[in-house]
Structure 1
Amino acid sequence: MKKLLLDTDVTMNYHGDFEKNDQKKSRYPYCIVWTPIPILSWVLPLIGHMGICTSSGIIRDFAGSYFVSEDNMGFGRPTKYWLLDVDKVCGSGASTWDKAVYDASEEYKCRPHNLCCDNCHSHVAMALNLMRYDNSSSWNMVKLCLLCLTHGKYVSCAAFLKTWLPFLMLTGIITTFALTLNL
């Protein structure tokens, strides 16, 4: 009986640890995560790479044709996260969430990557559609991009700089060069 109580206590603490974000381990339960794509995000900082996390915070992202990465995002650790409300999942919460993330990932393991039409954002949208998040099945990459922009939070000041500093430096160089040509 004592061993059973100990096991239950350890399990409860183990599960409780996953309910909080853990930036050092890149654990973001029930979150959509985002990171910039070198060169592309330097020119267009609103465009980046997206993944979705399981209830335990494991990141799944469509990182390339026929490949869904697990806990190793295609372009580095997340710089932004958007915490979603598990109570808005149609079904039984965590198990429905995890099944939808798993099913979307299995589907995307069989698809070629297309930067404009079927990409990491589409993978996340499929997971949200499968779980009917917020009672909707109309999630898409444009909607996710805009909502991540407005609801996403940077994981740190350094993450903010990683996202915006290359763009600001490139803009500064181009502006300086353009002003120099006009003189």
Structure 2
Amino acid sequence: MNVTKIDYDLHRYPFCLVWTPIPMITWLLPFVGHMGIATSQGIIRDFAGPYFVSEDQMGFGWPTRYLQLNIDKVEGGATSWDDAVQKASAEYTKRMHNLFWDNCHSHCGMALTIMRYGGSSWWSMVKLAAWMFFFGKYVGFWGFVKTWLPFAIILTFAISMWKFL
């Protein structure tokens, strides 16, 4: 079995950052969502709330987008990747969740910083959010729909209401 193969049906995303919409927030701001990081075996870890890092069950549903990273950019390979994900997860089980500065994106950033992904020692939530927004792939047609349909409906409604003012 190729451990780097993504399996959408089993929700396995080896060496990936994964993303899913947060109801109401993403509907209004489509670049804001919930992020997790998967182990070498594809098991998703995400900082889902205060003092809680979930495993294999994202806080807001299964991913609609993912970004598979290059394991060759991690010194020590899969072992270093998994160690970094575990260390970041252990640290975030001791932290309070804050939507604006210590959140799921920060958890993923810490993991990438610990593993020094791409030689970088600083992965911020803003950098990861932009990276996912511009380069993330959809898990399929329904991933795209789940991400964009609510925003499109609200935007259409707002534009139609604007015409009546």
Q: Could you say whether these structures have the same fold, taking a TM-score greater than 0.5 normalized by the shorter chain as the test?
A: yes
User: Is 1:161 the counterpart of 2:120 in the alignment?
Assistant: no
TM-score, structure 1 length as denominator? Answer: 0.89
User: Is 1:111 the counterpart of 2:95 in the alignment?
Assistant: yes
Amino acid at match of 1:82: L
User: Is 1:143 the counterpart of 2:142 in the alignment?
Assistant: no
User: Is 1:178 the counterpart of 2:162 in the alignment?
Assistant: yes
Max radius of gyration: which structure?
Answer: 1
Distance in structure 2 (CA, Å) of the matches to 1:152 and 1:29: 14
Q: Specify which of 57, 69, 75 is matched with residue 42 of structure 2.
A: 57
Residue equivalent to 2:25: 40
Task: Give ranges in structure 2 of 5+ residues lacking alignment.
Answer: none
Distance in structure 2 (CA, Å) of the matches to 1:85 and 1:150: 17
| Percent identical residues | 56
Residue equivalent to 2:73: 88
Residue equivalent to 1:27: 12
RMSD: 0.7
Distance in structure 1 (CA, Å) of the matches to 2:5 and 2:52: 28
Q: Which runs of 4+ in 1 moved over 3 A?
A: none
Distance in structure 2 (CA, Å) of the matches to 1:150 and 1:162: 17
Residue equivalent to 2:106: 122
Amino acid at match of 2:45: R
Pairing 1:9-28 to 2, within 5 Å after superposition? 13=1, 16=2, 18-28=3-13
Provide the secondary structure at the position in 1 that maps to 2:113. Answer: helix
Give per-residue Cα distances to partners, 1:8-67, cap 9 Å, x unaligned: xxxxx4xx2x32000001100000000000000000000000000000000000000000
Residue equivalent to 2:63: 78
